[in-house]
Amino acid sequence: QVQLVQSGGGLVRPGGSLRLSCATRPSGLYAKGWFRQAPGRRAREFVAAITWGGDNSVIADSVKGRFTISRDNAKSTVYLQMNSLEPEDTAVYYCAARNGGGLRIGAEDYDFWGQGTQVTVSS
């Protein structure tokens, strides 16, 4: 059974930064993505995705230029670096992994999900 263990998140002021981590247990190589679910929203919004090799990635337009996705395969961990955070970024952030290797932006394309971590941007 694949588990995605998330860490990071918390409360930050507007303009601040946070880094989220997502470790795969047991270790393994999967294409991964980050999604978020804002308060009152039913659907999870795509944020970023990266291939298992880390050679290709995609970032949602809503966070492009502020968020970056990266991975350290030696640690089986994917990161989401979030800079210049805005109140609109407040949400529960979820890490996801898929057995296929390509980039996908649809939540339905992912097979495993992390437990979610709260990010709150507020002054």
pLDDT in tens, 30-73: 999 999 999 899 899 999 999 998 899 999 999 999 999 999 99
Rounded Cα distance between 85 and 28, Å, is 31
Give, rounded to a whole angstrom, the gap between the first and last alpha carbons of the chain: 40
For the segment 16-37, the average pLDDT, to the nearest whole number, is 94
pLDDT-based confidence at residue 27 (cuts at 50, 70, 90): confident
**The pLDDT value given to residue 13:** 98
**The pLDDT value given to residue 4:** 96
Report the alpha-carbon angle 65-69-72, nearest 5.
150
Placement of tokens 């190589």 in the chain: 29
Amino acid (one-letter) located at 58: V
**The pLDDT value given to residue 1:** 84
**The pLDDT value given to residue 24:** 93
**The pLDDT value given to residue 101:** 76
Query: Is residue 26 reached through a cis peptide bond, with omega within 30 degrees of 0 on the bond before it?
Result: yes
User: Does pLDDT of 100 surpass 90?
Assistant: no
Strand blocks (E) in the chain: 3-7, 10-12, 18-25, 31-37, 45-50, 57-59, 67-72, 77-82, 91-98, 112-113, 117-121
User: Does pLDDT of 81 surpass 80?
Assistant: yes
Parallel/antiparallel/unpaired status of strands 3-7 and 10-12: unpaired
Placement of tokens 């970023």 in the chain: 48
